[in-house]
Amino acid sequence: MIIFAANFNFFCTFAPENCVIQRKAMKKYFLITIFLFLTTKFMSAQEYCFSQYYLDKLAVNPAFAAVGDYSEIGVIFRDQWPGIEGGYKIYNLEYQQKLPSFDSGLGVRFFGNTTGGGAFKVNEFALGYAYTFKVNYKLKCACALQGAYYMQSFKQSGLVYYSMIDAVSGDISTFNESVPFEKSGTFNFSGGVIFYTQNTVFSASMYRFTSVTLTGQKSTPPLMITGLVNHKIRLSSHAKRDRIEDVFIVPTINFSHSSIADMIMPGVYFYGQMLLAGLSFRYQTSDFQSSAVVTSIGFRIKNMEIGFGYDFYTGAVAQPSRNSLEAGVKYKFENSEKNNGSKTILCPAF
């Protein structure tokens, strides 16, 4: 990166008439190169976090596959730093099949992200099993084990280096740099445990606690620990037809830790008859420039939930990145039979 910038400044010193052309072209490619440089260095340790993490429950804890009375399918998309070309595009699709007769559930999840204009891609397919049981008449516990195949790929043709840009015309030549990494795949295991009552949730999980490299160079993603605590406070309750509808506020804390990224996200949610709204602050301990004020709003239409989120970054990255946005949808399938024991309603939309 230092050579990249130094060469450009040298060229402008001795050929100022070309600087205007070069600066316009270079602004675009310089931003892409920054992302590619950082991603190449930390590719094996990228972490992500959906602001609307209740639409990505299996990434919070695979044990959520057994919690609740509804099977469900959901998808969420995040546009990270849309103002910077080559920023992250992150998506997640998951399905949870409840097995009430066995007090358990299955979770299937497909996750992916791209960056650097598609030069770098990460995909993960995960399958997990969770089991829930009573501790006492008020407290239940869910445990889970999940296996996943994690694949990283690097497309050399997606890169643009300074040496590829003609000093006079600004034309881009063919790729002529040597990058050792192209593709790798690993198989890893994760696990989690959840203790919950009718109104309170304590969640802890370990992702990628063991990994096996299957293809390519060894680039095993690091161990990640996640935690979640929330508590529902009922504001009002009223009868509607044949059911009771409640309105809650929910203080919550979401936490994650890995070798290169720590995140803590305290916040509060409002969960009403049709409306879900939230306000949180995501604090990145390793990079305060990436910390953000997180807003979200969602709507319930029968068994469907639609959510939108927007992050306002607090550091210097806010202006060029234009913050980040999310959109997700989830559909719940009601089972013909319920889990044994008391019905559990997790929040915000857990």
Average pLDDT, consecutive stretches of 10 residues, N- to C-terminus, the chain (350 residues): 31 38 44 43 53 86 90 91 76 93 93 80 94 92 94 71 66 61 82 92 92 68 90 81 76 88 90 87 76 90 90 71 85 67 47
How high is the pLDDT of residue 308?
94
Amino acid at 64: F
Domains of the chain: residue spans and CATH: 2-334 (2.40.160.40)
Calculate the alpha carbon distances from 250 to 51, 221, 304 in Å.
16, 33, 20
Burial, 81: exposed, middle or buried (Cβ in 10 Å; 0-12, 13-18, 19+)?
buried
How high is the pLDDT of residue 203?
95
Strand partners, 312: 293
How high is the pLDDT of residue 287?
65
d(CA 250, CA 347): 7
d(CA 205, CA 126): 15
Q: Is 345 helix (H, G, I), strand (E, B) or coil?
A: coil
How high is the pLDDT of residue 319?
61
Burial, 169: exposed, middle or buried (Cβ in 10 Å; 0-12, 13-18, 19+)?
exposed
How high is the pLDDT of residue 245?
73
Rg for the chain, CA atoms, rounded: 23
d(CA 131, CA 192): 11
Looking at the whole model, is its pTM more than 0.75?
A: yes
